[in-house]
Amino acid sequence: MNAEFIEALKEIVKEKGISEDLLFYTVEDALVSAYKKNYAKVGGNLQNVKVTIDRENGEIHVYTPKKVEEEPSNINEMSLDEAKRIDPLYEVGDIVDIEVTPKKFGRIAAQTAKQVVIQRIKEAERKVIYNEFVAKEYDIITGTVIRKDKGNVFIDLEKIEAVLGPNEQMPGEAYNFNSKLKLYIVEVKNTTKGPQIVVSRTHPGLVKRLFELEVPEIYNGIVEIKSIAREAGSRTKIAVYSHDENVDATGACVGPKGMRVQNIVNELKNEKIDIIKWDKSPETYIANALSPAKVLDVVIDEENKSAKIVVEDNQLSLAIGKEGQNVRLAAKLTGWKIDIKSESQASE
């Protein structure tokens, strides 16, 4: 172990963002193990040892700490007379470090240190990547499609690959090699093989984050997203509320000439988005949630959290939606069970 090796270690510290002290302490611990394996047994007994590395010139010193006792009983103790020959100030109970560095320890040390450093670099890089991405959990990230395998799509996030599983893929969306995607980070796992990043294109959080990026009023907290109901690739309903009476929540989300919501629709490959005005009155909120249908009457049952809705005869199919999608999303958005009848059905 020489000055060049120390310089190399310090360069690694700088490049990889690893703690210098942590790296040196780890190497020193590994050298203790290497010494014990090769040299530490004396007369069948195992010595306690510690190893120090000079941070400047790379010199290694191995010491065995011995406790000063009146009558030593094992290899890790020494008599008071022996201690005083080293330094007259030593007393019973003091610890004396006796150097036991072997002459040929340098070669073993260099090999051991190399192995430890390689392992520590891998661990540190994994930890840095994990910490970076765990801070982005539940946020949006842009990635590049690199390959498909067994239904999974693998995404390059520059420092690591992410997995877009079959359930997280939007129906009908093509994931072509080298195409760029905005993805929602669902989970960051710390596994024995390193960080695992689970991403999604179907999660409602993706829509929420896209609106936060596109609509300054949401980002600034003036407009609040109260709820989202989504059937990915087909339709989303999003309920918004303005904390400023001078700011129209739905208008802010739609944007000038509809540009803000259109940008989000484009990112979601033409998924339809209904922007609903949230209201503290359940009747008004439920009526709004059934947009674009016009609601005539809402009767709510607080105990069962259900609502009976009446619409004009020509609005019934619109209120229910194709294959029941509109009413299904409205129920999911509001958290209320919804039963819709036309005006003529209600009168009967």
State pLDDT tens for residues 140-195.
Answer: 999 999 999 999 999 999 989 999 999 999 999 999 999 999 999 999 999 988 89
- Per-residue pLDDT at 44 exceeds 60: no
What is the arithmetic mean of pLDDT over 251-259? 97
What CATH homologous superfamily does 283-348 map to? K homology (KH) domain (3.30.300.20)
Instruction: Write down the pLDDT at residue 55.
Output: 85
What CATH homologous superfamily does 3-133 map to? NusA, N-terminal domain (3.30.1480.10)
- Higher-confidence residue: 39 or 254? 254
Residue 291: which of 243, 344, 229, 343 has the closest Cα? Answer: 229
Same fold, 203-278 and 283-348: yes
Where in the chain are the domains? 3-133, 136-200, 203-278, 283-348
When the pLDDT of each residue in the chain is averaged and rounded to a whole number, the result is 91
Distance of alpha carbon 316 from alpha carbon 342, whole angstroms: 6
The matching CATH number, chosen from 3.40.605.10, 2.40.50.140, 3.40.50.720, 3.30.365.10, for 136-200 is 2.40.50.140
- Per-residue pLDDT at 348 exceeds 90: no
pLDDT digits (tens, 9 = 90+) for 281-290: 999 999 999 9
Pairing of strands 337-342, 306-311: parallel
What is the arithmetic mean of pLDDT over 102-129? 79
Instruction: Write down the pLDDT at residue 153.
Output: 96
What CATH homologous superfamily does 203-278 map to? K homology (KH) domain (3.30.300.20)
